[in-house]
Amino acid sequence: MILVTGGAGFIGANFILDWLRLFDEPVLNLDKLTYAGNPESLASLAGDARHVLVQGDIGDRALVARLLATHRPRAVLNFAAESHVDRSIHGPEDFIQTNVVGTFHLLEEARAYWQGLPAAEQAAFRFLHVSTDEVYGSLGPDDAPFTETTPYAPNSPYSASKAASDHLVRAYHHTYGLPVLTTNCSNNYGPLQFPEKLIPLMILNATRGLPLPIYGDGMNVRDWLYVSDHCAAIRAVLARGRPGETYNVGGWNEMPNLDIVKTVCALLDEMRPDPAGPHARLITYVKDRPGHDRRYAIDARKIDRELGWKPAETFDTGIRKTVRWYLDNPGWVERVASGEYRTWLNTNYAGRGAQ
């Protein structure tokens, strides 16, 4: 068995679904089920004995200790995180609590569990920490992409909290010998993503004829990674990664936000034309967010060279699958888009206004 934390979130849910399509090894899924932890994303696993969902916090040491002792997983994969930069600007404390303190508590219980294992199980055990390229800060237009040795320079409360968690994971390897692995990924997109993030927000707003808000001039550049490719990379790192190592995971798809939105609009024009005209007419420029990093780019050659992973999807194939999925799953989208999501949009975009 493996223990996955945050397995009802966007990346975690995709990872579990892919894992159980490929393997019979059971998954114990610990998720706090906050706004972004959606059990409906795992509805296809209802009645599947290989998946056990436990509602709980990675910071609850007694719960984590009990789960580890009862289920005896061979690996812990930590997806659990507060993960949206804008939310961290409006309320940083949750990010410190979950991403820093929560990871610390999880590491402490994993260390205690690991130290009590027989020698062979100790050697085989892994703690895999899923992190972000945002810990590296911002790149200029001509700077080389981030590598695993790029100095950390986080610029938001979110990225600072993830940087702190990465440092804790590294320290537990060097101090205690805990066999850890860390992955730092670029921007994920794909099915089951909570519609506060750029791509699903644009799809949802466009299909409703609402403005498509773009920060600043829309030329902030990100490297886009299809979520199933990310999941395949994590499986490769878990299976073959060297303890103590970090692996950058990127899609080799650097694109400005404005180009992303225009691509989504063009696909919607093709798949669901709007009688009122091209969806790009809805693009609206809004005031930029504080400390908005200009460019991220990932050098993913290490994971290719050492573990044989590279993305299977191009951006063209991945974004087409993504738009199609959201159009084909309106029930999931509508249920996710109620309540908390609308409250969030009002909080984040109120007062920005069109530029």
* pLDDT tens sequence across 16-62: 999 999 999 999 999 998 877 788 899 999 999 999 999 999 999 99
Residue-range domain boundaries for the chain: 2-189+224-251+295-313
193 phi and psi angles, rounded to 5 deg: -85, 135
Tell me, yes or no, if 93 is annotated catalytic: no
User: How many whole angstroms separate alpha carbon 41 and alpha carbon 329?
Assistant: 11
Predicted confidence (pLDDT) at residue 237 exceeds the cutoff of 80: yes
Predicted confidence (pLDDT) at residue 353 exceeds the cutoff of 60: no
Catalytic residue among 31, 57, 86, 134: 134
pLDDT digits (tens, 9 = 90+) for 156-177: 999 999 999 999 999 999 999 9
Three-state DSSP state, 55: strand
pLDDT digits (tens, 9 = 90+) for 181-217: 999 999 999 999 988 889 999 999 999 999 999 999 9
pLDDT digits (tens, 9 = 90+) for 68-122: 999 999 999 999 998 766 777 888 998 999 999 999 999 999 999 999 999 999 9
User: How many whole angstroms separate alpha carbon 201 and alpha carbon 165?
Assistant: 28
Catalytic residue among 113, 158, 215, 285: 158
**Which is nearest to 128 in space by CA: 298, 304, 249, 300?**
249
Catalytic residue among 31, 82, 109, 133: 133
**Which is nearest to 103 in space by CA: 156, 44, 58?**
58
Q: Which of 4-18, 286-300, 301-315 has the lowest mean pLDDT?
A: 286-300
pLDDT class of 341 with cuts at 50, 70, 90: very low
The confidence score (pLDDT) of residue 346 equals: 64
Tell me, yes or no, if 189 is annotated catalytic: no
Mean pLDDT of the chain: 93
The confidence score (pLDDT) of residue 339 equals: 56
Predicted confidence (pLDDT) at residue 306 exceeds the cutoff of 70: yes
The confidence score (pLDDT) of residue 354 equals: 52
The confidence score (pLDDT) of residue 21 equals: 98
CATH superfamily of 2-189+224-251+295-313: NAD(P)-binding Rossmann-like Domain (3.40.50.720)
Considering only residues 87 and 268, tell me which one the structure prediction assigns the higher pLDDT. Answer: 268
Virtual CA dihedral for 265, 269, 274, 277, nearest 10 degrees?
A: 80
Tell me, yes or no, if 245 is annotated catalytic: no
